[in-house]
Amino acid sequence: MKGKKRLEQIKRGLEKTLSGMKSGEEGKYEIRYEPITEYNHDAIGARVYVTNRDSPAYQFLLVDKSNPNASYPVMHVFWSDIVRPIPEHMEKYFYGSATEPNLRKAIDSLTKNKVQAERKRRVEHLEETLLLILILSGLFFLSFNITGKTIADLSTKTSSFFGAGLLIVGLVAGFFWFKGRKR
C-alpha cells in the first residue's frame, strides 16, 4: 500500500485527538482507513470521483468497536496529502483540534444510529406480539368447545364471527409484516 507510513501517522494523530476529547466515548471507537474511488464532497453536496492526480485516496472512518459494521467517515486523504510533509502549523487541520468537530459529529451519528436500531427492534417485537395475540384470540373464539357460552353469553354464530374476524385480521397483518421484513 502506497504511503502506509504516512497513513499510520495520520491515524495515530486522529486516535490521539479522539482520546483527548473527554466525551466518555473514547474507548468505544477506533479509527480505520480504507482506499476510496469516490467520496461525498460536503462543500458542493455531491459525490465526487477521485481523479488520477489524487489517486490513491483514502477515507478515515470512526468505527464502533461493539458493531464493526457501523462506521462514519471522518476525513479523506489524497495522494498529495500523503507524499508531502505537513508543516507543523497545518497539523491541527489534519489530526488536531480542527478534526474534533468531525469526530464529535461521527460519535453523535453512531450513537443516534444505535438508539434508532434499538427502537426499531422494540417496535418489531411489539408487532410480533400483537400478531400472535390476534391469531391466538381468533383461534380461541373459533373453537366453540373451549369457550362455549362462558364468554359474555355469546351464541355460537357470534363467537365464530369474532374468531374468524380476528383470525383473518391476524393473518393479513402477518402477511404484510413478513412482506415488509424481507425488504
Note whether 95 and 135 are same-domain residues: no
Distance of alpha carbon 168 from its chain centroid, rounded?
35
Among 108, 114, 37, 115, CA closest to 74: 108
Note whether 164 and 107 are same-domain residues: no
SS3 124: helix
Q: Residue 122: its pLDDT value, please? A: 83
Residue range 15-27, pLDDT digits in tens? 877 777 666 666 7
Residue range 50-67, pLDDT digits in tens? 888 777 888 888 888 887
Domain of residue 45, residue span: 4-114
Note whether 38 and 97 are same-domain residues: yes
Among 116, 98, 106, CA closest to 74: 106
Cβ(60)–Cβ(74) under 8 Å? yes
The residue type of 153 is D
Three cell numbers written together for 106: 461521527
Average pLDDT over residues 74-78: 81
Among 106, 108, 86, CA closest to 13: 86
Q: Residue 26: its pLDDT value, please? A: 60
Where does the pLDDT of residue 98 fall: very low under 50, low under 70, confident under 90, or very high at 90 and above? low
Q: Residue 47: its pLDDT value, please? A: 81
Q: At what angle do helices 156-181 and 100-142 cross, to 10 degrees?
A: 150
Q: Residue 96: its pLDDT value, please? A: 56
Note whether 102 and 124 are same-domain residues: no
Cα angle value 170/173/176 (rounded, 5°):
150
DSSP type of residue 52: T
Q: Residue 134: its pLDDT value, please? A: 85
Q: Which of 114, 138, 166 is where one domain is finished? A: 114
Kindly report the pTM of this predicted structure. 0.55
Q: Which of 57, 85, 114 is where one domain is finished? A: 114
Helices (H) and strands (E) in the chain, counts: 6, 5
Note whether 14 and 96 are same-domain residues: yes
Residue range 121-167, pLDDT digits in tens? 788 888 888 888 888 888 877 776 555 555 556 677 777 787 888 88
Note whether 177 and 100 are same-domain residues: no
Note whether 69 and 107 are same-domain residues: yes
Note whether 134 and 59 are same-domain residues: no
Cα(159)–Cα(153) distance, integer angstroms: 9
**Number of domains into which the chain is organized:** 2
Among 84, 72, 143, CA closest to 109: 72
State percent of the chain over pLDDT 90: 0
